[in-house]
Amino acid sequence: MTDAEILVLLKDNDTTAYRHLVDRFGPFVYNTVLGVLQHPGDAEDITQEVFVQVFQSIHQFKGESKLSTWMYRIAVTKSLELLRSRKRKKRFAFVQSLTQPGNNQLTIDPPHFQHPGVIMEQKEHAQYLFKAIEKLPEKQKTAFILHKLEDQSYQEIAEIMQVSLSSVESLMFRAKQQLRKLLGDYYENLKP
């Protein structure tokens, strides 16, 4: 089924089209969201939200971009929103912990994330890489994840992020530089 056919059926509220959309784009969306959030539970939750929003706003989709581009955009936006809300909660918890010494549950960082798709030999390295990715600024993180995890070209990333191709190149260059620096620090701590 082509994108155009799916769209026509979705706009007619065809339930088989919904099912088809989830089967086809579910793994793309989940993998991207998981890469950004680095938490399987939150990734499942946001993936569901992405599809609910897609179903609700499919009539507003004008078809100016590819369906997959639009879905990636929603997935990235929703993931980043959750990250921002997490940061706010963390800040709030920190302020609370200053006034209430016993209450510091939210300031504890979760354990390092392990992506289920990483091959066994690379698991340790990947763990450090994900730890470093978490520290990247939002745009660099998005570009890097879409490229490395979803194998998207720079042109496709530019369309998803609604920026120019040169901006994506610059984001990727800065992301790699920043990751090298962060990984270098981890190495120094790992092997003093």
Partner 1 sequence: MKISNPRTDFLIKVNHLINMHTQEKENWIDAALNSLDAIERATPPADLYARILDRQNTPRQNALRVRMTPPQRWMVAASIALLLFVNVMTCIKMKQQFAVRANPAGVFATEYFGFLKPVDI
The yes or no reply on residue 7 touching partner 1 (CB under 8 A) is no
In the block, which residue shows the tokens 């040169």? 166
Q: Could you say which residues in the range 23-42 bind partner 1, by CB under 8 A?
A: 23, 26-31, 34
Helix axes 154-161, 138-148, angle to 10 degrees: 140
In the bound state with partner 1, the residue whose beta carbon lies nearer, of 32 and 139, is 32
Cβ atoms of 78 and 50 within 8 Å: the answer is yes
CA nearest 145: which of 117, 122, 164? 117
Q: Could you say which residues in the range 86-115 bind partner 1, by CB under 8 A?
A: 115
What are the Cα distances from residue 122, in Å, to 125, 148, 173?
5, 14, 23
In the bound state with partner 1, the residue whose beta carbon lies nearer, of 108 and 120, is 120
Phi, psi of 118 (to 5 degrees): -75, 135
Helix axes 67-99, 154-161, angle to 10 degrees: 60
Angle (CA) 21 27 30, round 5° = 105
Q: Which stretch binds partner 1 (CB under 8 A): 74-82, 91-99, 158-166, 182-190?
A: 182-190
In the bound state with partner 1, the residue whose beta carbon lies nearer, of 53 and 97, is 53
Q: Could you say which residues in the range 110-149 bind partner 1, by CB under 8 A?
A: 115-119, 122, 125-126, 128-129, 132, 148-149
In the block, which residue shows the tokens 């800040």? 91
| Among 4, 14, 177, 184, interactor with partner 1 by CB under 8 A | 184
Count of positions on this chain that bind partner 1 (CB under 8 A) = 41
Residues that bind partner 1 (CB under 8 A): 18-19, 22-23, 26-31, 34, 43-44, 47-49, 51-52, 55-56, 115-119, 122, 125-126, 128-129, 132, 148-150, 176, 179-180, 183-184, 187-188
